[in-house]
Amino acid sequence: EFCDILVSWNACYYMGFDSEFSEFFEHVQEFSRVIKNTGQIIVSVPMKSNFIYKNVEIIKDGYCFVRNDPYKVREGAILRMFQDKIDLISEFEKYFYDFKFAEIRDDFFGQVNHWFIFSAEKK
């Protein structure tokens, strides 16, 4: 119960590298732990159509291994990949409610950048 608002911008879906990685629910638990009872989260995560998921290897339901990253910064990373808004809510609803969603769909210079953005309140 440390902060009023927690912003996770393009970060919380990174699970680690190689075979050792955390489960996404651990990130959500930590969000809940550090936010005050009246706190909110603001989160952005890539949509399944985002370029970072091109050529990934699915390693288990909802998780993928990055191969052939065009920028070579995510190579070998394990990411949580969300199917849709319902998938996102299912991960967060144990600790948060009153979800408000927005989307960014930007296809600049041939690069598909699609993002979910949402806010929610701590239960």
Give residue 110's pLDDT. Answer: 87
Nearest CA among 34, 5, 31, 12 for reference residue 82: 12
- Are 101 and 82 in contact by the 8 Å Cβ rule? The answer is no
Confidence of residue 87 (pLDDT cuts 50, 70, 90): very high
Q: How far apart are CA 38 and CA 42, in angstroms?
A: 14
Q: Who has greater pLDDT, 60 or 103?
A: 103
Give residue 22's pLDDT. Answer: 81
Token pair for 20 = 């050792």
Write b or e for each residue in 34-70: b if 16 or more Cβ atoms lie within 10 A of its Cβ, otherwise e. Answer: ebeeebbbebbbbbeebbbbeebeeeeebbbbbeebe
Count of alpha carbons within 13 angstroms of residue 112, beta-carbon side: 9
For 34-84, how does the pLDDT look when each residue is reduced to its tens digit (9 = 90+)?
A: 999 999 999 999 999 999 999 999 998 899 999 889 889 999 999 999 999
End-to-end CA separation in angstroms for the chain: 12
For 1-38, how does the pLDDT look when each residue is reduced to its tens digit (9 = 90+)?
A: 999 999 999 999 999 986 667 899 999 999 999 999 99
